[in-house]
Structure 1
Amino acid sequence: MVVAADEKGDRGRQSIMQKTVKRWLIAATVLVLIGLAGLVVLLAANSWDITKLDTAAFETNTYDLDEAFDKIFVDTDTADVVIMQSQSNACKVVCRETENVKHTVTVRDGTLTIRTNDEREWYEHIGLSFGSVKITVYLPQKDYEALCITTTTGDVKVSDISFGEMEIEVTTGDVILEHVLTERIMSIRLTTGDVQLDSCDAGEIFIKTSTGDVWGRLLSEKIFTAKSSTGDVRVPKTSTGGKCEIRTSTGDIQVEIAKD
């Protein structure tokens, strides 16, 4: 009799639990449907243009620089970074940024430093944003000692500049270098993204990406070490020059030497 009563009690508790879970699932489904209905109404009211639902307010700020520097350091969370030669002798940094997430631009001890300054409260992280943050650096000289760029999410493009050494680290984004020369070491590390080198060269080149393709046209011969876990590998069979090590887990590797 006691066993039967216990079994009956267990079945009763299971029944109550199942009913409670069912009620929560129904409530959650209703809330999702209400949210979807509200989204449809908002889209219809904005002519089905989803970008009009953007809650981030963007602005463009220009930082003119008079101080001399030969090193460049960029550390940003979510931004595209462009490094290019200025069409004039002026040096400036142009940031397309949001009102609550700006960038600090300073020159100290011969180094130009650009950092993200995120002053948002926790609740300000909630919202929709369809725009992109972008940092463009216009450099008056063609030769600099060092370039270091770190970004979590964003593309990096560098063109028509020479450096003593270069280090680029990206979590999610592509890296494009055009007519970039590095005297010593060029290091590029990505988690997810492609790498493209067009008419570039360096004393030694090290490229690593977990998921992405690597394509390059170099200006001089290298001693290549290239490996892809899943992908095609095509590199010149040259035996002179500096090291060129390229590794990717998922992606193709294709490098060629530019003809004179």
Structure 2
Amino acid sequence: MSTDHELERRTWVRVALICVVTFPLVAAVNAMTLVTDARRSTGDVQWAEPWLLEMTSVVGALLLVPAVAALERRVPLVSGMTLRHGAVLLAASVPFSLAHVGIMVGLRTVLIPLATGKAYAFFVDPLTDLLYEYRKDLFLFVVITGLLTLSRQIELGRQETAAARADARESGRLTLKSQGHTIHLRARDFSWAQASGNYVDVMAAGKSYLPRTTLNDLEQQLHSAKVDVVRVHRSRLVNREQITEVRPTRSGDVEIHLADGTTVKGSRRYRDRLSLPDNAPPQ
């Protein structure tokens, strides 16, 4: 199985599971609300009709998810997004809404009379009814395409992380993404790093880099490249081979001196990873 095919499969499976779980839950809440409102206003409660109204809408939406996924794969919402892509997706929401209305109306026309003995009428005022449904369906369409895009970005991130770790293991180099560029560094040149929001400030061979990654992903790459790194703070990572001295402070934390002259502050929670005895005298 190709990597791209596996990525699409995992993207689709995640979104399908989210839709299968959340859409019926939302519909159930709506149905119970309709029942409660009817009880309060008229006292005449029809349990079957509200549930059929909501669940037929869910069935229609779920049946259309594969079509939306196929479109979103060809017209991505983020990667290479253009005004043309946005226009295509907006235009596609119209047939999506018409198909959704067609499926749920067809199901309701058959099921509601069977369950309640009453005929179901939808096109009393076709233009108003279709516009009303389109407003809701546009939101639904955006939610589905958004879920697909987010899921694909997650899978792409995982794929890139796995590839970077494999490359680190084979070549001994780090792969870092920064401002649309890919940076390759010799892993053994790594000195220390500090997390900074969605980025990590990396020091290597006397130079500073600010890739968009996580400290955990960087640590995994370094481990794959057989570099002995140690977490000295929840947001700091140090190359153990670069450490020249560790000095405890009066607060219980540590000051870590590196071969390049840098001093990195370490937390007391991580001092045991430096093999520093608890009763070491503070400076």
> TM-score, normalising length from structure 2?
0.29
Between Structure 1 and Structure 2, the one with more helix by share is 2
TM-score, normalised via structure 1 length: 0.30
Q: Which has the larger radius of gyration?
A: 2
Q: Which has the higher strand share?
A: 1
